[in-house]
Chain A
Amino acid sequence: MPSTFFIPDPEGQVPSAEGYFGAFGGKFIPEALVAAVDEVAVEYDKAKADPEFARELDDLLAHYTGRPSALTEVPRFAAEAGGARIFLKREDLNHTGSHKINNVLGQALLTKRMGKTRVIAETGAGQHGVATATACALFGLDCTIYMGEIDTRRQALNVARMRMLGAEVIAVKSGSRTLKDAINEAFRDWVANVDRTHYLFGTVAGPHPFPAMVRDFHRVIGVEARRQLLERAGRLPDAAIACVGGGSNAIGLFHAFIPDADVRLIGCEPAGHGIETGEHAATLSAGEPGILHGSRSYVLQDDEGQITEPYSISAGLDYPGIGPEHSYLKDSGRGEYRAVTDDAAMRALRLLSRTEGIIPAIESAHALAGALEVGRELGPDGLILVNLSGRGDKDMDTAARYFGLYDTDAEVAADEAGTAEIEGDAK
């Protein structure tokens, strides 16, 4: 019986055996990690061919995660988008509150198959960290999460969640103290502890096989949404829209639609304060090809290959790289990427909250802002599918400060609790 929720790419066209999507991808890693990364590739290939792996993962995705996730039409929100119909793929309703759990459960099963007892992971907004800590609790694995120091403050709720789940959370103080530096530190840990440790990488970047494997675990998003939308709207969407940081929720949504040439695939990158200000994390819009974290892809860098510090109000999108398959989709023209500012994302976050009673993650709000733009471009006959990749609970402190939702006393109290620097990060 074919599996229901674990639906790896049936084409097998990309990447190449060396992990290349066109000119992007590959495996730029230190020798000390070559054996471990090769082991992941071999074990993943074995798992893919093993019906027992698919059965176990399907069971978890159905009864633990709660798949399939809902598809919700949002007419009151869409009224602001030129009358186009908008449907949200509700990955925010998964257990732990985002799409990240799809990949984490797959790799956690793989960790068990490899006989490893410890998992490390990086996290930006904390959603991947929470999902990883959750899976480690479920499977009885030791868990260490690396998180940039700035992100531990702006996503303090998720730090508490990870610790409640039994994970060790390490605040990374090097570099820009955000996601990129958390990944650097996780790689350093992995090199030193590779014998018993799996690096449960959280996005579709990194060395081969991570971009393809993580994509496969998220592919269910688009497969489900495509079927659900055909049932509900009777046709395919004009556009499938998702936010892109590293790009995992976007590739998960896009992948099933790649053969549907009439479906535009639109990724929304964080423009921060505006690309022209230099304070952004819009890698595909403003970057150049280079090597970061184990693969060749677009990268935000200077003329001598130093990685530049990104900025976004969203901790989950605050990353100067992007998965190589997105670089491939961009250069081949199959994918379109546009940049969405902090302000546009925050307006969309408030609009969805007030018109539909759904508070999205700030990450996902970038996709919603993109949908408002695309809806106006398409007009009233438009049909748009948006991946609502995560829920906004974790972002309430940032949002409350942005919109001034705290009573003064509460704001002072929060400042005294050591979160005073959030203001500077968020505005």
Chain B
Amino acid sequence: MSGNVRLLDDTLAAAKAEGRSALIAYLPAGFPTVDGGIEAVKAALEGGADVVEVGLPHSDPVLDGPVIQTADDIALRGGVRIADVLRTVREAHAATGKPILVMTYWNPVDRYGVERFTAELAEAGGAGCILPDLPVQESGPWREHAEKHGLATVFVVAPSSRDERLAEITAAGSGFVYAASLMGVTGTRESVGAQAEDLVRRTRATTGIPVCVGLGVSNPAQAAEVARFADGVIVGSAFVKRMLDAPDDAAGVEAVRALAGDLAKGVRGRA
């Protein structure tokens, strides 16, 4: 069974056709529980997110700030397994019909086996994967299997990426390009980096695939600001923080739904 890379492409194209940015949410699987995490992903999609990145928690999340570290830690202590991550993808996609990606670090995928992981992610209805510590030079084996199984390979670009490197990365990527708004780890911030717009402009000069901006975007006003120049707005820590701050799991799910609704207005320029 082939993965849903086409669904991802079509979803981003549809948002563009509506003259708006897409809203992409990030939520870790297994947080606060596996079933609770599935409910949160569904709530984000029902609330207004176009795409969700499901985090596969890792013991050593070197690119994540304290909020996602805390959620990963809760998920891992709860015993989350890769099978649970795949079930999250399957159930959220089945319930909503929307594209779901997995975001994780390279070691869990490498250890599980690239062939097995890509085959099972495609079978679960996944649309692709983001592996921020797998640089394009080391990504050959991954891409071979991802292409075979109809999965997008979303690469991250950073303000420090030089133009020739951007061209190399975007030539190898598919689905969309994840443009990091600033130099740093995940987390909510007061303002989105001023470097983001320049990075999107430089990235667009190398590719026709959509360029979405993440890192630090947490509220509708920021989403609206980024939506002026990017094809998509990626929000992670703000969702996780709402869940961490909620009095109980059900309230956490509703907080996710509400934030997705607010951000969906933001990406339509109505913040």
Q: Does B161 contact A (CB under 8 A)?
A: yes
Which B residues lie within 8 Å of A292 (CB)? 60, 107
Q: Is the CB of B106 within 8 A of A191?
A: no
Q: How far is the CA of A373 from the CA of B8 in the complex (A)?
A: 61
Known interface pairs A18-B137, A303-B111, A305-B112; A192-B184 also in contact (CB < 8 Å): yes
Q: Does A290 contact B (CB under 8 A)?
A: yes
Which B residues lie within 8 Å of A28 (CB)? 106, 133-135, 138
Q: Is the CB of B158 within 8 A of A32?
A: yes
> Please, how many residues of chain B have a CB less than 8 angstroms from a CB on the other chain?
40
Q: Is the CB of A29 within 8 A of B135?
A: yes
Q: Is the CB of A184 within 8 A of B135?
A: no
Which B residues lie within 8 Å of A290 (CB)? 107, 110-111
Identify which of B13-21, B62-70, B118-126 touches chain A. B62-70
Q: Does A400 contact B (CB under 8 A)?
A: no
> Please, how many residues of chain A have a CB less than 8 angstroms from a CB on the other chain?
36
Q: How far is the CA of A301 from the CA of B133 in the complex (A)?
A: 18
Q: Is the CB of B134 within 8 A of A194?
A: no
Q: Is the CB of B155 within 8 A of A175?
A: no
Known interface pairs A28-B135, A31-B156; A187-B169 also in contact (CB < 8 Å): no
- By beta carbon, the residue of chain A nearest B158 is A32
Choice from A27, A187, A308 contacting B62 with Cβ under 8 Å: A187
Which B residues lie within 8 Å of A286 (CB)? none
Which B residues lie within 8 Å of A308 (CB)? 59
Choice from A30, A195, A293, A299 contacting B158 with Cβ under 8 Å: A30
Q: Is the CB of A26 within 8 A of B156?
A: no
Choice from B58, B65, B133, B169 contacting A306 with Cβ under 8 Å: B58
Interface-central residue, B112, B135, B155, by most chain A CB under 10 Å: B135
Q: How far is the CB of B213 from chain A (nearest CB, A)?
A: 14
Which A residues lie within 8 Å of B161 (CB)? 31, 34-35
Which A residues lie within 8 Å of B156 (CB)? 30-32
Which B residues lie within 8 Å of A32 (CB)? 156, 158-160, 180, 183-184
Q: Does B108 contact A (CB under 8 A)?
A: yes
Which B residues lie within 8 Å of A307 (CB)? 59-60, 107
Nearest 4 CB-CB pairs, A to B?
A: A305-B111, A305-B108, A32-B158, A192-B184
Since A29-B133, A34-B160, A303-B111 are in contact, a sample of 11 more A-B pairs with Cβ atoms closer than 8 Å, ordered by chain A residue number, is A30-B135, A30-B158, A31-B135, A31-B156, A31-B158, A34-B135, A188-B62, A291-B107, A304-B82, A305-B58, A306-B59
Can you pick out 20 interface pairs between chain A and chain B where the beta carbons lie within 8 Å of each other? Answer: A30-B156, A30-B158, A31-B158, A35-B160, A184-B60, A188-B185, A194-B183, A290-B110, A291-B110, A292-B60, A294-B133, A301-B111, A304-B81, A304-B108, A304-B111, A305-B108, A305-B109, A305-B110, A305-B111, A307-B59
